[in-house]
């Protein structure tokens, strides 16, 4: 076989990494500039954007060490039975690429994942070696996100956490039965065991650093995971429940949702069609409701339709408010923060602003309008000194009034 150039390997292994959403600029519309239309991309390969622990948006070189794999996960383009071009970097090649891109100011860090070659331990060793060389031999201080392999020994995963800012372990599918069917080489208990140990080590390292300033850091940006949506028959209620359990049990920083996309040469057990991308977006919105808006997972699930899926035409917060109208209207000048956060159309920043302003004066509807992108969405659910929605809140056709008009999609 002809020797692959570094550029050929980079093309294959950057493209193969794009299916992993767990460092992605999630929750944004998917756009790209292919074909010379505009500049920039939120879904292309090679360089992705992530948020650092201090909230900065940073660019990461996003690649696989190799797309060879001894596992046969049906939903994965890199599974052993897949007919794709294969490539493999050495750890030193990844180090050199990272440093050269870093010096040219293209990136501020590295997101490194891998298929499994030879064994989980062998692969994990190689991933750790990349991070070790960067940190110890080059004093690299940029961000490193390492994907870890739950089947590897706990000690090697521990090493990964000592060098990386963030580690992630993919749970892959929302249900155990989905995992057994679609990823027969993986084991849900093994995945959870690795996440549990990582959580314990993150907590231990934080405690130690409180006592000893020079104690080693362990994954200071925490751990995250990814769930594939739409490859099995788990509905949104099941996915929300699973995400909530993962946040609570393993202290995850993020759960990423990745709408399953039919891959070339797909396995016959997979659905032929991808789920609507809007489904992924609604799941991110529901995730936000749990993390920043004080919704319990069962409350988010209450927003779902009879089939257990969130409505696609309206966001989950509006869906919840329409179902539980007895909680509205909310008096913007008196209501506690928890209730203001439930008002459709009011984000966390708008609520913080309302709370700050009302210490000095009472708000009018115009004041609220300046804090939201859509006062039409807010009006049925609030009272101000000059506005009461009266019968509007209970109108049978309210959902229709608030549903965004569908737009003609571009044909070309
Ligand atoms: S182990 Fe990872 S790379 Fe290998 S087939 Fe499964 S999902 Fe793909």
Take atom 1 of ligand 1 and give the residue whose Cα is closest: 71
Contacts of 167 (CB under 8 A, 6+ apart): 145, 146, 147, 148, 157, 160, 161, 198, 219, 223
Name the nearest CA neighbour of 295 among 252, 259, 327, 262.
327
Nearest to 281, CA basis, from 307, 256, 248, 306: 256
Rounded to the nearest whole angstrom, what is the distance from the C-alpha of residue 298 to the centroid of ligand 1? Answer: 32
Q: What is the arithmetic mean of pLDDT over 40-69?
A: 74
Give the ligand 1 atom nearest the CA of 183: 6
Does the CB atom of residue 114 touch ligand 1 within 6 A?
no
pLDDT over threshold 60, residue 286: yes
User: Residues 5, 9, 11, 12: is their CA dihedral positive or negative?
Assistant: positive
Among 57-61, 172-176, 216-220, 351-355, name the one with the lowest average pLDDT.
Answer: 57-61
CA of 78 to the centre of ligand 1 (A): 6
Ligand 1 within 6 A of CB of 73: yes
Per-residue DSSP letters for 5-17? PHHHHHHHHHHHH
pLDDT at residue 275, rounded to an integer? 87
**322: nearest Cα among 333, 309, 311:** 311
Is any ligand 1 atom within 6 A of the Cβ of residue 223? no
Instruction: Put residue 2 in one of left, alpha, beta given phi > 0 → left and psi -120 to 50 → alpha.
Output: beta
Do 62 and 45 form a contact (C-beta atoms < 8 A)? Answer: yes
C-beta of residue 186 within 8 angstroms of C-beta of residue 73: yes
> Cis omega before residue 329 (within 30°)?
yes
Alpha-carbon separation of residue 215 from 113, 318, 366 (angstroms): 27, 47, 53
| Residue 393 scores a pLDDT above 50 | yes
Token digits of residue 360: 């000095």
Determine whether the shortest distance from the Cβ of 86 to ligand 1 is under 6 A: no
Task: Name the closest-CA residue to atom 2, ligand 1.
Answer: 115
The full length of the chain comes to 412
Q: Between β-strands 57-64 and 46-51, what pairing exists: parallel, antiparallel or unpaired?
A: antiparallel
**Could you tell me if 31 and 40 are in contact, meaning their C-beta atoms sit under 8 angstroms apart?**
yes
Q: Is the CB of 344 under 6 A from ligand 1?
A: no
Q: Which atom number of ligand 1 is nearest to the Cα of residue 80?
A: 5
Q: Please give the full DSSP string across 142-179, using - where no structure is assigned.
A: SEEEEE--TTS-HHHHHHHHHH-SEEE---BSSSHHHH
Q: Are 248 and 192 in contact (CB under 8 A)?
A: no
Pull the structure tokens for residue 77. 């383009």
Q: Is the CB of 51 under 6 A from ligand 1?
A: no
Identify which of 20, 71, 182 to mutate to test ligand 1's pocket (most ligand atoms within 8 A of the CB).
Answer: 71
Which residue CA neighbors atom 6 of ligand 1 most closely? 73
Q: Is 74 in the pocket of ligand 1 (CB under 6 A)?
A: no
Average pLDDT over the chain reads 90
**pTM exceeds 0.85:** yes
> Is pLDDT above 90 for 27?
no
Of all helices (H) and strands (E), which one includes residue 115?
none
Phi and psi dihedrals of 112, rounded to 5? -125, 125
CA of 310 to the centre of ligand 1 (A): 29
Question: Ligand 1, residues 18, 64, 78: which to mutate, most atoms within 8 A of Cβ?
Answer: 78
All domains of the chain, ordered by start, with CATH?
Answer: 6-294 (3.20.20.70), 316-402 (no CATH)
Instruction: Write out pLDDT tens, residues 295-326.
Output: 999 999 999 999 999 999 999 999 999 999 99
Sign of CA dihedral 240, 267, 272, 111: positive
What is the three-class DSSP state of 199? helix
Cβ proximity of 80 and 71 under 8 Å: yes
- Tell how far the Cα of 341 is from the centroid of ligand 1, in angstroms: 40
Name the nearest CA neighbour of 381 among 350, 342, 355, 353.
Answer: 342
Ligand 1 mean position, distance from CA 104 (Å): 32
Mean pLDDT score, 198-214: 95
- With a 6 Å cutoff on the Cβ, whether 79 touches ligand 1 is yes
Q: Which atom of ligand 1 is nearest to the CA of 67?
A: 3
Q: Which of the 8 DSSP states describes residue 392?
A: G
**Ligand 1 in reach of 115 Cβ (< 6 A):** yes
SS3 content of the chain, % helix, strand, coil (to 5): 40, 10, 45
Q: Is the pLDDT of residue 53 over 70?
A: no
Per-residue pLDDT at 44 exceeds 80: no
Do residues 350 and 298 make contact, with C-beta atoms less than 8 angstroms apart? no
The answer, yes or no, to whether any atom of ligand 1 lies below 6 A from the CB of 171, is: no
| 149 pLDDT above the threshold of 60 | yes
**77 CA closest ligand 1 atom index:** 8
């Amino acid at each position: 076989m002809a020797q692959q150039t570094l550029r050929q390997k980079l093309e294959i292994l950057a493209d193969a990494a794009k299916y992993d959403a767990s460092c992605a600029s999630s929750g944004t519309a998917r756009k790209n500039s292919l074909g010379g239309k505009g500049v920039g991309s939120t879904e292309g390969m090679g360089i992705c954007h992530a948020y650092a622990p201090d909230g900065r948006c940073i660019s990461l070189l996003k690649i696989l060490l190799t797309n060879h794999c001894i596992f046969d996960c049906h939903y994965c383009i890199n599974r052993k039975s897949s007919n794709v071009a294969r490539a493999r970097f050495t750890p030193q090649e990844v180090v050199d690429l990272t440093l050269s891109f870093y010096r040219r100011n293209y990136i501020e860090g590295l997101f490194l994942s891998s298929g499994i070659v030879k064994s989980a331990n062998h692969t994990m060793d190689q991933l750790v070696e990349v991070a070790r060389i960067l940190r110890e031999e080059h004093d690299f201080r940029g961000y490193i996100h390492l994907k870890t392999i739950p089947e590897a020994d706990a000690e090697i995963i521990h090493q990964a956490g000592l060098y990386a800012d963030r580690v992630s372990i993919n749970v892959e599918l929302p249900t155990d039965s989905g995992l057994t069917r679609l990823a027969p080489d993986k084991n849900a208990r093994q995945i959870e065991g690795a996440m549990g140990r990582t959580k314990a080590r993150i907590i231990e390292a934080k405690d130690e650093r409180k006592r000893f300033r020079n104690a080693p850091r362990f994954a200071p940006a925490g751990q995250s995971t990814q769930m594939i949506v739409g490859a099995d028959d788990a509905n949104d209620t099941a996915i929300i429940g699973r995400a909530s359990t993962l946040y609570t049990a393993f202290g995850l920083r993020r759960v990423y949702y990745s709408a399953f996309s039919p891959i070339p040469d797909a396995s016959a057990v997979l659905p032929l069609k991808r789920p609507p991308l809007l489904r992924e977006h609604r799941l991110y919105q529901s995730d936000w409701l749990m993390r920043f808006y004080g919704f319990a997972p069962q409350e988010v699930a209450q927003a779902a339709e009879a089939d257990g899926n969130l409505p696609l035409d309206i966001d989950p917060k509006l869906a919840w408010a329409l179902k539980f109208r007895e909680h509205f209207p909310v008096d913007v000048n008196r209501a506690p923060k928890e209730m203001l956060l439930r008002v459709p159309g009011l984000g966390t920043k708008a609520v913080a602003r309302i709370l700050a302003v009302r210490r000095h004066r009472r708000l009018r509807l115009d004041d609220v309008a300046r804090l939201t992108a859509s006062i039409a969405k807010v009006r049925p659910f609030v009272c101000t000194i000059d506005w009461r929605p009266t019968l509007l809140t209970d109108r049978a056709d309210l959902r229709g009034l608030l549903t965004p008009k569908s737009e003609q999609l571009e044909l070309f």
